[in-house]
Structure 1
Amino acid sequence: MSLTAEILSVGTEILLGNITNTNATFLSQELSVLGINVYHHTVVGDNPQRLAEAMDIALGRNDLIITTGGLGPTYDDLTKQTVGRALGLEMELHEDILADLKARWERRGTVMPPNNEQQAWFPKGCTIIPNDWGTAPSCAIEKEGKTVIMLPGPPYEMKNIWNRYVAPMMQAWQDSVLVSRYCRVVNIGESALEERLSALLKNSLNPTIAPYAGGGETVLRVTAKAATREEAYALTVPAVEHIARECGDDLYAVDKDSMEQVVCELLRELGLRVATCESITGGGLARRITDVPGASDVFECGLVTYSDRMKYRLADVSLETLRAHSAISLEAAIEMAEGTLKQSGADLAVSVTGVAGPETLPQGEPGTVYAAVAGPLGTRAAKLTLLRSNDRDRNRINATGKALDYLRFYLLDLQRSKRG
């Protein structure tokens, strides 16, 4: 029988909507991969009475409760104390953790504030989980068939603790090994993709296949269960191969994190360096490429030519083109790419221009986007298809992703031409 879990997020700032609860999203996805059913997300403010009530309810209906937040040094960081009381456990001081906290402050050239001592107090009998990324150690408690895992609130700390310590610990609880692989698809909507893969999605029990959409792409999570990791991985192979046949080049990655990672790998394989020239995206294209570690091997430079004057001066877009077609046109995108290629000395250049919104312009509605790539295969340009939206940020983000994908297709064709 599958375990049931609840994610209990602690923090008034989450309750008031001041920050987005990304921790709950991450943990739900991770628990799903482990085959653990998450039936409840609960958010409670920094109030010990309401936290105690939420914990009592969670313990009554779940095998596993994961809390995030409330492990800090301030007066309202009371998660450990509240959980301890709910489980009938006294608090005890861990001298080794206290010594480590004091040493951290000494390395900074100062003395630890007295209130930080509470980070060294834990419910009696718990398992300490180290925090190599912050000052608040985590812990896990098992009692009477219930398990409570307490993690810090900052997402960077929480995710690293989960990946290094908690996920392996929970995997060890399983009778079998789970392997999940992620197939990332663009240019095919979630509904259309489900229809195309309907037989596979309906009939596949091990592995299971779960589609979800977001960020301009659809991800298919293929999860298999077996006695060993090798056997579980082997079970995923036929499903992944089926998805690859059905999606073709629109399947841009398997077991990779992002479009920009794939683009950088293609550039590196081809021994090429790229330059960017952007208008609508305001540098977003260059940022995504340079987010990839090692991007300096493949990225030459980025231009943000937002005004017509800068398109003319920096990217060699002719005044005739700007007058006849405007800066938001296929012709302008072509000259932006070709001019940037010439000016930068890169091996190829990608350009993107369009209408971000929210207002409609004479050149088009919000989401009207043109891109071009100039390089060894000559210059290619296209009007890109974005979902219609008046949301300026959404249009800029989607335009960045579409331009990256347009560059990827160019690189794939170049790769094929070199292979003969």
Structure 2
Amino acid sequence: MKCEILAVGTEILLGDIVNTNAQYIAKRLSDIGIFVYHQSVVGDNPERLKEAYDLAFTRADLVITTGGLGPTKDDLTKEIAFEYFGKTSVLHEESFKYIEEVFRKSNRTVSVSNKKQAFFPSDAIVLKNNNGTAPGCIIEEGDKVLVMLPGPPREMKPMFEESVIPYLKKFSKEILVSKVLRVIGIGESAAADMLGDLLDNENPTVAPYAKEGEVTFRVTAKASNEEEAKALIAPIEAKVREILGDNVYGEGNTCLEEVLGQLLTEKGLTIATAESCTGGMVAARLINYGGISASFLEGAVTYSNDAKISRLGVKEETLKEYGAVSHEVAEEMAIGICKTSGAHIGLSTTGIAGPGGGTKEKPVGLVYIGLCYGGEVVTRELNLSGDRQKIRQRATITILDMLRRELLSSK
């Protein structure tokens, strides 16, 4: 079954709100084997909305709309749809009683405008809205299906899950099941080259997606049931993991800080951070993990040279000879935070995030990171590009991945 998602609302066209509904619906449809071929946005205009319906049904069997079911004059999604299909609407008593009850609880009276939300063709499948006053509906006309949903995500999502997914499952003979593998420390093109012909596989498919500082590979299988799909995914997943090795750090919605938090707590290790250019980002990422209190002791933002000296014990002569942005200072910062906090592990960052402050010898994007663990100190030089925020984010991701690999390799 081919589907088109049609978002109705001038506010989307103007950029006042982001169309997150389409993303959600498309993902859920793929889960049940219904494929979205087009996504469209149209404003609150009768003629353009009618044209959008006409175009959508020339290229899709199923059209799902979001928005335009409210009580105001510019909420036209239903009315234009009924006109498009040549249908007359009548009061749906059950919906109207529900709207009256909602208004009664807040000591309000239902207006004529609100009453219009309860009008539907007699042969429509009305979808109850348990989170608002705008019911949705499904119109079946020959081999075409129109599903109309409210715009607010807090109303749309429950209605979609409670009513639309069960309805649509009858049209799907196959399902799609995906397994997401999260990869770090290697770029999208390099990882894709390593996987080679696996990316040409037809079922399951293997598709890369670049994200900030990492890559995800989605292995997706089409099958008649979930067990069969998982059986198809398993050998392909094993090959991806074998080829990419420790570059695969997690799966699904797992984030890097969750992996680190689990490793630190499992090993009974404590950690502290000393940051300059990242300004607390490393500590903030670690603290995202709910159980990190068992491991994280403290984070120091030692931005100035004086702070590096007084708080971490960085030698004044080291700063004078090598400069704050150097291997030597990153090393002393990592050692210093370990000593002053009593942590097993110390992380440090120092660099030039820009936009100013760079020189020919030390350009913007030059960052040094340090890791002190078990009496050993490792530092790395990073040459990063992008704006100030991107440089700081990439430095943060890199040092956290450096820590992950160290924890995996140590006993």
Q: Which amino acid aligns with 2:409?
A: D
Q: 1:8-407 counterparts in 2 under 5 A?
A: 8-72=6-70, 75-89=73-87, 90=89, 92-93=91-92, 94-95=95-96, 97-98=98-99, 101-102=102-103, 106=106, 111=108, 117=114, 121=118, 123-124=120-121, 125-128=124-127, 130=129, 138-154=136-152, 166=164, 170-171=168-169, 173-202=171-200, 204-359=201-356, 361-362=358-359, 364-376=362-374, 378-384=376-382, 386=384, 388-389=385-386, 391-407=387-403
Q: 1:375 to 1:151 in 2, by over 3 A?
A: farther
Residues 85 and 196 (structure 1), Cα distance of their counterparts in 2 relative to 1, 3 Å cut: same
SS of aligned partner of 1:282: coil
Q: Aligned pair in 2 of structure 1 residues 336, 205: CA closer, same or farther (>3 Å)?
A: same
What do the CA deviations read for 1:66-105 (whole angstroms, capped 9, x no partner)? 33333455554443444444344526451354256337x6
CA distance in 2, matches of 1:163, 1:295: 34
C-alpha deviation, 1:183, in angstroms = 1.2
For 1:312 and 1:154, the matched residues in 2 are separated by 53
Distance 2:271 2:284 in 1: 13
2:7·2:40 contact (CA, 8 Å) conserved in 1? yes
Secondary structure of the equivalent of 1:197?
A: helix
Is contact 2:326-2:350 (8 Å) kept? yes
Q: 1:403 to 1:131 in 2, by over 3 A?
A: farther
* Change beyond 3 A, Cα 1:4–1:304: farther
Computing the radius of gyration from Cα coordinates, the structure with the larger value is 2
Contact 1:119 1:136 in 2 (8 A): no
TM-score (norm: length of structure 2):
0.83
Deviation of 1:322 after TM superposition, in Å, equals 2.8
**Residues 323-361 of structure 1: CA deviation (Å, up to 9, x unaligned):** 333332222323333333333444433232322233460
Further displaced range: 221-230 or 161-170:
161-170
- Structure 1 residues 224-233 or 351-360, which shifts more? 351-360
Q: TM-score, normalised by structure 1?
A: 0.81
Return the offset for 1:28: 4.0
Does the residue aligned with 2:401 lie in a helix, a strand or coil? helix
Is the partner of 2:403 in helix, strand or coil?
A: helix
Percent identity between the two aligned chains: 43
What is the rounded CA distance, in whole Å, between the counterparts of 1:337 and 1:300 in structure 2? 14
Q: Which moved more, 1:16-25 or 1:329-338?
A: 16-25
Gap change, CA 1:37 and 1:177, over 3 Å in 2:
closer
Any conservation in 2 of the 1:281–1:400 contact (CA below 8 Å)? yes
| C-alpha distance in 2 between matches for 1:118 and 1:318 | 75
1:408 partner amino acid: R
Q: 2: distance between equivalents of 1:296 and 1:137?
A: 46
In 1, the alpha carbon distance for the partners of 2:381 and 2:264 equals 23
Give the partner amino acid of 1:210: A
Residues matched between the structures, number: 405
- CA separation of 1:323 and 1:178: change in aligned 2, threshold 3 A: same
Q: Which runs of 5+ in 2 are unaligned?
A: none
Encode CA deviations 1:263-291: one digit per residue, 9 max, x unaligned: 22222322334333333333333333333
Deviates more, 1:251-260 or 1:165-174: 165-174
In structure 2, what is the Cα distance between the partners aligned to 1:169 and 1:273? Answer: 52
Q: Which structure 1 segments of 5+ residues have no match?
A: none
CA contact (8 A) 2:271 2:296 kept: yes
- Aligned mates of 2:100, 2:151 — CA distance in 1: 23
